[in-house]
Structure 1
């Protein structure tokens, strides 16, 4: 019992350290240990934070979680994690069908000590007009803060994996318009991006494709006027889709910017 407690405390301490490194760890996603599981088998998934579809596992913290849900069909239930759980999501069993996990973090804050750090971020995420907005708002060029919130979703096939994804009501969210485990993906995976309940057009989508050998390819696409993007996919690969909203913070003072990060993960048989 002492050893288990010691390990759990270690996981908590590791999570606290990792959570202080948002500037170095960009994407946040849900990564199932298996994207396809048998009926009655456990469903286990990690919360990950990192870059290039590789990152550290995050322990479960209730105070840093606004929402953690499990959806199958029309039924959505809140997931009850335990403080320090690693993996963060552990479901003893699930019914056959498509299982959707959604996770929304509580807002956290990052401070940009230099303008170069901020410029690198906005360039990477395709926000070409943000530097002009920053100057027009007469904001400082260093030592300013940004609040960020993560909205992650994953699709898991239990047994046959039949079912469909649907909008879960997060402020920004990907919705898969095809089931990657049952549908024909020869023309790609159709996905729609939402922001505040409305399809978000002309948004940059960063797509991470991991092959069976672990190699990751990264490419960019933009949604059309209806918020749609057709993601080319390959059999036997796993995918992470990432899109960011960057807007002025709702209240004056610090932080001065607010970012909302949508993520979707799935696999292709």
Structure 2
């Protein structure tokens, strides 16, 4: 019995290990003007993560976009070597909503056929799974390059009661291959109000893409999680029921570009968006 269970347990463990989201997280999502804060990179499951990497060669783009077009800071490494590390300490000077954006370089992984199939099913990557079946490739190992695109929304000072130019950065499209773009500024929404988020593939609506939504709860309460899918216009709808923070994550997989065919058959793109929700409501004490 133990001999039969071991391969199954190994497969489940490997599959779970691959189902890791990647995100950016600041120690606080709400800051005062003039603070310098490191926005950390995490990889993990269920909105619980470990530090990702310190290798500068893994960074293709690392930028802070401020609330005005002229306010931005790039920490993208220039001609890094394998020994170089990258830094994520940004100076948040101006009041308003800031965006910190990271795009990674491509990494490579190869998995045995059964583990790759389990991974595709767990992540809901139906297109890749169907294509493998149609091509009679289910017995082939999965050779994949993967890249990561993460954004964090940081509020500096108090958010304006109505839309202003200082909160528009979070609604911009930044040209990522897979991108989550809020249509409203979450820092101006009251509790239980709707937030619409666009899922874009190369700037176009990504119909049907699954989006994982996590919300951390205060105290020792468990993190909540659910999955939704982008509609025909590439939009999802969610309600901010508490202060969070929130993590939205999506992944897509397609046939690897021709320039990578000698090594990989597939390319996946992972996207995430993190932000805080409405402040917790303090209920008055009735005496």
Per the normalisation by structure 2, the TM-score is 0.79
Equivalences for 1:74-89 in 2 at 5 Å? 74-75=69-70, 76-80=72-76, 83-84=84-85, 88-89=87-88
Return the structure number with greater helix share: 2
Q: Per-residue displacement from partner, 1:235-269 (whole Å, max 9, x unpaired)?
A: 22111111111101112343111101110001112
Q: Per-residue displacement from partner, 1:186-237 (whole Å, max 9, x unpaired)?
A: 3322111110111112211111111112521210111111111111222221
Of the three residues 223, 226, 236, the one matched with 1:229 is 236
Residue 270 of structure 2 is matched in structure 1 by 261
Q: Which has the larger radius of gyration?
A: 2
Shift of 1:118: 1.7
- Secondary structure, counterpart of 1:91 in structure 2: strand
Residue 148 of structure 1 is matched in structure 2 by 146
Residue 36 of structure 1 is matched in structure 2 by 30
Q: Whole-Å Cα distance in 2 between the matches of residues 127 and 58 of structure 1?
A: 23
- Secondary structure, counterpart of 1:160 in structure 2: coil
- Secondary structure, counterpart of 1:119 in structure 2: helix
Residue 240 of structure 1 is matched in structure 2 by 247
| 8 A contact 1:34–1:44 mirrored in 2 | no
Equivalences for 1:103-118 in 2 at 5 Å? 103-115=102-114, 117-118=115-116
Q: Is 2:185 the partner of 1:179?
A: yes
Return the structure number with greater strand share: 1
Per the normalisation by structure 1, the TM-score is 0.84
**Structure 2: gaps spanning 5 or more residues:** 1-15, 160-165, 280-287
Q: Per-residue displacement from partner, 1:36-61 (whole Å, max 9, x unpaired)?
A: 01111122211001111111113432
| 8 A contact 2:178–2:200 mirrored in 1 | yes
Q: Whole-Å Cα distance in 2 between the matches of residues 202 and 220 of structure 1?
A: 12
Shift of 1:123: 1.7
Q: Per-residue displacement from partner, 1:65-98 (whole Å, max 9, x unpaired)?
A: 000011013244312569445xx41124421110
| 8 A contact 2:19–2:119 mirrored in 1 | no
Q: Per-residue displacement from partner, 1:164-200 (whole Å, max 9, x unpaired)?
A: 2111111110111111112345332211111011111
Q: Whole-Å Cα distance in 1 between the matches of residues 92 and 235 of structure 2?
A: 33
**Structure 1: gaps spanning 5 or more residues:** 1-21
Q: How many aligned positions are there? A: 246
Cα RMSD after superposing both structures: 2.3
